[in-house]
Amino acid sequence: MANKGPAYGMSRDVQSKIEKKYDDELEDRLVEWIVAQCGAAVGRPERGRLGFQVWLKNGIVLSRLVNSLYPDGSKPVKIPDTPPTMVFKQMEQIAQFLKAAEDYGVVKTDVFQTVDLFEAKDMAAVQRTLMALGSLAVTKNDGNYHGDPNWFMKKAQEHKREFTESQLKEGKNVIGLQMGSNKGASQAGMSYGRPRQIIS
């Protein structure tokens, strides 16, 4: 980690492609949501990818965010009284956030790796995780989400249907078109191009 030098060649190309995925407008929306969700005590980052990374790097803001999505008395992440200064403690705090986000319902493929944030390797992945978390919070609609609900898309929800026994019996009497009925249609009068030409 500490000995990471500049990237050259293909590594540099890959890193620049990853950095281009970072969305500045999305950063603004996520900052607004985090401040609305956690309160002004979390502060605000400097604008830009690196400012956003420094703001989230020690894991405290992320931990407060995920804790704010739970009712009082059932907070999943323990937050230390003073922000951690040691590298492994900061990474541990981020790991606790990631575990809590998965427990909340964020899909494993939407969860960033600790180094994506800690070393600013893929801040777009961090944005994806926060977007997924916000979408779940809006979808759950349990009163713990604060902020504009239009900031995130609602996830699709299961809509179970219940049928009575008589409705199920009625369905057995219907002959579907895949059973062979063509409702009286025929191919009479249809032509398929020119007839075959026999040349002698």
129-143 pLDDT, tens digit per residue, is 999 998 888 888 787
> Which of 151, 91, 149 has its CA nearest to residue 127?
151
pLDDT tens for 1-56 read 445 656 556 666 666 666 667 777 888 888 898 898 888 888 888 888 888 888 88
Domain at 11-149, CATH class:
mainly alpha
Reported pTM: 0.68
Pull the structure tokens for residue 117: 């944030």
> Which of 52, 44, 43 has its CA nearest to residue 23?
52
Domain extent listing, the chain: 11-149
